[in-house]
């Protein structure tokens, strides 16, 4: 008999591919073989970013399926992409599994899919394969998706998913307040996109009933309210904390690891790490204000400036900025973020509050400055600033801009706030306890492994 073989299927976005890779690495350590399914488009990006330098240890095999869009189609149009995936990928997945299953010792034991790829559960059920959902964001967000029928019957949203009155609601008394305008489906694009995504989410809620298990990259101690509202969601995270020494895999951009050497030369707790994940785009005014804020603060900084981070095609930095900050500022296209955040020279994390970034900051005990852009990032900001109290929010001016003075002031405030630093250290301890020996997340993960093997 070969090793038990799992098919893993992330939604094709960077913030999903990375935590699914992390989960795959954890499963390999437990003696599984993984077939990691990407879309052809992302598969090519990952291989290109690795520059042929692939070392997955033989137990993770990367495969790709078409996503249903033309090669030149715009993958940022999430409605179109999700619809095309839904139409094309189920059939292709079935063919893939049929091919793999032709070799007896390769036979698929289990499918682990993203909630956002819930159609894979129907394929698994049809093929009589056990199946699980892995949710890579806050459990509270999954609670909001599962609550769609209740939100409809309570008149909080209409049949298209549009919030009837923009308001703050709590899904349960112990859960953080959510702004209905920031429901995930309501802020991913225009009305057509919202409608497509919302309808798919309603369908996925049905498909999710076929899941034998739901695991998530969170911890009971981080989101007790969400886990008591939905006790069937089993936290196994923060996953990276249990996968500490592993390299992050599945990047869409080549990582610039030279910044680690630069960090080695900086004093302890002296560098502000600035990164906005894989999606966020700045207009020129706000980008320049951020640059000037970093310049105005006297601190050293490491700033991730993705090639596509601004709407500008040409250099968007203020004139002479790079020369002026050369001795204390470093800009990179894509950083090995987990290694950066665990570096002793980092003092705080100026973040867009994506869930992966949030978990990575929490696991390293780093205080946050929160700059959310859309969707779940606002709820994550609420967790960081109002629930865990390990970070600060920015205030916008009358024109909706976060000014250079505001940036400078908040950087100084968070770095000198001993209470925030102490709480961040305590939160790290709690997170580590959850993934430590006999921690709740570890126990859930062990049970999950036993279930797959049984």
Does position 357 interact with ligand UDP (CB under 6 A)? The reply is yes
Q: Is residue 275 within the footprint of ligand UDP (CB under 6 A)?
A: yes
- Residue 337 lies near ligand UDP (rule: CB under 6 A): yes
Task: Kindly indicate which of the ranges 1-9, 104-112, 272-280, 391-399 contains the residues binding ligand UDP, using the contact rule CB under 6 A.
Answer: 272-280
The distance of closest approach from Cβ of residue 103 to ligand UDP in the complex, given in angstroms and rounded to an integer, is 34
Q: Please report whether residue 176 would count as binding ligand UDP according to CB under 6 A.
A: no
Closest to ligand UDP by CB, 85 vs 138, is: 138
Smallest gap from Cβ 277 to ligand UDP, in A, equals 3
Comparing CB distances to ligand UDP, the nearer of 218 and 403 is: 218
Residue number with CB closer to ligand UDP (90 or 246): 246
CB of 419 to ligand UDP, least distance (A): 25
Give yes or no for residue 274 binding ligand UDP (CB under 6 A).
Answer: no
Of 356 and 434, which has the nearer Cβ to ligand UDP?
Answer: 356
Binds ligand UDP (CB under 6 A): choice among 304, 309, 369, 420: 304
**What CA–CA distance (Å, rounded) separates 269 from 329?**
15
Are the beta carbons of 182 and 374 closer than 8 angstroms? yes
| Region of 173-181, 197-205, 228-236, 329-337 interacting with ligand UDP (CB under 6 A) | 329-337
Is residue 278 part of the contact set for ligand UDP (CB under 6 A)? yes
Tell me the closest approach of the beta carbon of residue 105 to ligand UDP, in angstroms.
Answer: 34
Instruction: Work out which of 199, 289, 360, 381 binds ligand UDP, going by CB under 6 A.
Output: 360
Q: Which residues bind ligand UDP (CB under 6 A)?
A: 14-15, 18, 248, 275, 277-279, 304, 334-335, 337-338, 354-357, 360
């Amino acid at each position: 008999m070969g090793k038990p073989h799992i098919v893993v299927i992330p939604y094709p976005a960077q913030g999903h591919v990375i935590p699914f890779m992390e989960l795959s690495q954890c499963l390999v350590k437990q003696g599984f073989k993984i077939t990691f399914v990407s879309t052809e488009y992302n598969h090519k990006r990952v291989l290109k970013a690795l520059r042929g330098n692939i070392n997955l240890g033989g137990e993770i095999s990367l495969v790709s399926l078409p996503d249903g869009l033309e090669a030149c189609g715009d993958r940022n149009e999430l409605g179109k992409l999700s619809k095309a995936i839904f139409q094309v990928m189920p059939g292709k997945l079935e063919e893939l599994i049929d091919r793999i299953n032709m070799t007896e010792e390769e036979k698929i034991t289990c499918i682990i899919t993203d909630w956002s790829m819930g159609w894979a559960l129907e394929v698994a059920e049809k093929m009589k394969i056990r199946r699980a959902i892995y949710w890579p964001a806050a459990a509270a967000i999954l609670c909001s998706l599962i609550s769609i029928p209740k939100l409809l019957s309570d008149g909080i949203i209409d049949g298209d998913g549009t919030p009837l009155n923009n308001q703050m609601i709590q899904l349960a008394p112990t859960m953080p307040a959510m702004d209905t305008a920031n429901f995930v489906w309501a802020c991913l694009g225009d009305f057509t996109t919202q409608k497509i995504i919302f309808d798919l989410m309603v369908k996925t809620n049905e498909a999710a009933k076929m899941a034998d298990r739901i695991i998530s990259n969170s911890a009971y101690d981080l989101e007790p309210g969400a886990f008591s509202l939905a006790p069937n969601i089993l936290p196994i995270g923060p996953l990276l904390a249990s996968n500490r020494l592993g390299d992050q895999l599945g990047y869409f951009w080549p990582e610039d690891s030279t910044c680690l050497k630069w960090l080695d030369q900086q004093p302890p707790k002296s560098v502000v790490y600035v990164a906005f994940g894989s999606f966020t785009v700045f207009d020129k005014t706000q980008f320049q204000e951020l640059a000037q804020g970093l310049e105005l603060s006297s601190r050293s900084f490491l700033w991730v400036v993705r090639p596509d981070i601004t709407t500008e095609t040409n250099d968007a930095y203020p004139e002479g900025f790079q020369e002026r900050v050369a001795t204390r500022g470093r800009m990179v296209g894509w950083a090995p973020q987990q290694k950066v955040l665990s570096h002793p020279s980092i003092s705080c994390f100026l973040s867009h509050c994506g869930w992966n970034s949030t978990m990575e900051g929490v696991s390293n005990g780093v205080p946050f400055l929160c700059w959310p852009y859309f969707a779940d990032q606002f709820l994550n900001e609420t967790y960081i600033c109002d629930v865990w109290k390990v970070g600060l929010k920015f205030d916008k001016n009358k024109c909706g801009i976060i000014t250079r003075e505001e940036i400078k002031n908040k950087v100084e405030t968070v770095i000198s706030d001993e209470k925030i630093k102490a709480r961040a250290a305590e939160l790290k301890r709690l997170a580590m306890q959850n993934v430590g020996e006999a921690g709740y997340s570890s126990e859930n993960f062990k049970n999950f492994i036993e279930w797959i093997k049984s």
